[in-house]
Amino acid sequence: MKVVCIALIALLGVAAARISIPLKKEKTEKGINMFHSSEEEFCTEPLNYTQIYKSDPFDGHIGLNIESRSLAERWSISESLFWKGLLPEPKFAFYLHPTINGSDGEIVLGGEDKSHYEGELTYVQSATDEWIITFQGVKIGDRWIQTENITAKPASSLPFIYGPRKIIAQIHKTINASLTVQGEYTVKCKTIRTLPTISFKIGGKVFDLRPDDYIVKDMDDFMRRAPFLEMLGPEAVDKMPRPGAIKTHLPYKHQPYSPDAKYIYVTRNPYDCCVSFYHHTKSFPAYRFEKEPFDKFFDMFIEGKVDFGDYFDHQLSWYEHINDENVLIITYEDLKMDPRAGVLKIAEFLGETYGKKLREQPEVLERILNTTSLKTMKGMNEEFRKWTEKAAEFAAQSSKYQKTAAEMPDDLKKPMTGDFVRKGIVGDWKNHFTPEQVNRMKERIESKTKGSMLMSLWKDIELP
């Protein structure tokens, strides 16, 4: 391992500057996710930091700990850099991907990287030598159970906050939490929707712990809550929580129909759809199309020889119902152009109460926009890729109509190789289509949509 001592920092020059250290993820032999910094170890002098900070070696290594906690009375890295005038502020920040299988992270000394968050940071004072902070209040539902100063201690290496036993016990009692053998408290899934919001006032700002925050969110959980009909079968729909959403790629005539259900049809212009579909198909080994050129897929697309049949037949089957009260047709391009308006339109379609809630509670709307943003969705690529490794078995367990993994060809068991969420832009067709292909697509559109206003869905974007 290469050691970079603090003396070498002088090479940075005299001026103070923020320092960004990329983190690469690796797995130890015990399967624990650890991070290293470009195979370099930072130290104030050639000493083993795990000996200096014996109780909390990883805290002390970069700067979470402070001089008074050091057995050898050594400065941490961030302290040393600041007092030498090499950092503009006595700050450090770190970013780790929000999912277990996510991408690499970053440590920033002397500031923070604003590309990793939105809004404003909330700062609180901590007690000398300890990470002890003060809350200004705790609220359960609409009732503040304490509004005086409450001492709490965030665990620097665990996702916990330690607080007064009396208040913690009151929270557990209110949500009917049960103690597990691991020493953690859990709540029953069936009670989640009835749980109150618990609020903590920290640094003058109120932070809410909502009912949905109790849910351990992973790909299995998502698939159970919003099942993909063709993959998981009708049994998954029977078992899903209500109200909920069903994902399907079926044309209207094959779609299970109920006048009481709401149908949202998201469509994309044929040019970009063809390109996106090509990259999607290449990414799944089961198609055996990894090395095939775009030209070959274009021919298949034009001839209607792709998954779920002809693109235009599929579109037209739903477009005929554009005026049905329980059908909403919305384009990918409109959602990209104005996601806020798109979310509000969907909410109003689902029910007046949903639209009203988003208009009256802008923080809920912002949360939805952030969760469904391209950046957040791309952050799920690695988790989805890993999930595809077990998708066959998951599907077999879900439905009696699916083969077991043992009965399936090997290609169907292989994980996705590309990204499920790729560019997420409008107009990528320009990077793939030849002039001859543009003309063929125009002829196909003219032939298939004659007498229909289908293409008017994209009247506001540039198409050939």
pLDDT tens, residue by residue, 33-78: 333 333 333 333 333 444 444 454 444 445 555 566 665 566 666 7
Predicted confidence band at 159 (pLDDT cuts at 50, 70, 90)? low
**DSSP strands (E only) in 37-142:** 40-43, 92-95, 105-109, 133-140
**10 Å Cβ neighbour count for 271?**
24
Q: How confident is the model at residue 6 (pLDDT cuts 50, 70, 90)?
A: very low
The per-residue pLDDT for range 394-436, each reduced to its tens digit, is: 666 666 666 555 566 676 667 788 888 999 999 999 999 999 9
Res. 186 pLDDT band, cuts 50 70 90: confident
**How would residue 216 be classed by pLDDT, with cut points 50, 70 and 90?**
low
Give phi and psi for 77, each to the nearest 5.
-60, -50
Give the pLDDT score at 275.
97
* pLDDT exceeds cutoff 80 at 189: no
pLDDT at 404: 55
pLDDT on residue 147: 82
Convert the pLDDT of each residue in 319-346 to its tens digit: 999 999 999 999 999 999 999 999 999 9
Q: Is the dihedral of CA 143, 199, 354, 229 positive or negative?
A: negative
Q: What is the CATH number of domain 133-214?
A: 2.40.70.10
All CATH 2.40.70.10 domain ranges in the chain, comma separated: 133-214
- 327 membership: H or E segment, kind and range: strand 327-331
Task: Tell me what the pLDDT averaged over the chain comes to.
Answer: 79
Instruction: For residues 137-153, give the mean pLDDT.
Output: 87
d(CA 445, CA 312): 8
Rounded to 10 deg, the angle between the 311-319 and 435-448 helix axes is 40
State the pairing for strand pair 263-267/327-331: parallel
Looking at residue 415, its pLDDT comes to 76
pLDDT at 298: 98
DSSP reduced 3-state for 26: strand
pLDDT-based confidence at residue 199 (cuts at 50, 70, 90)? very high
The percentage of residues in the chain with a pLDDT greater than 70, rounded to a whole number, is 73
Question: What is the predicted pLDDT for the residue at 20?
Answer: 61
CATH dotted code for 249-379+421-458: 3.40.50.300
What are the tens digits of pLDDT across the range 80-128?
777 788 888 877 787 776 554 455 677 787 888 888 777 788 888 877 6
Q: Where are the CATH 3.40.50.300 domain residues in the chain?
A: 249-379+421-458
Query: Could you tell me the pTM of the whole model?
Result: 0.59
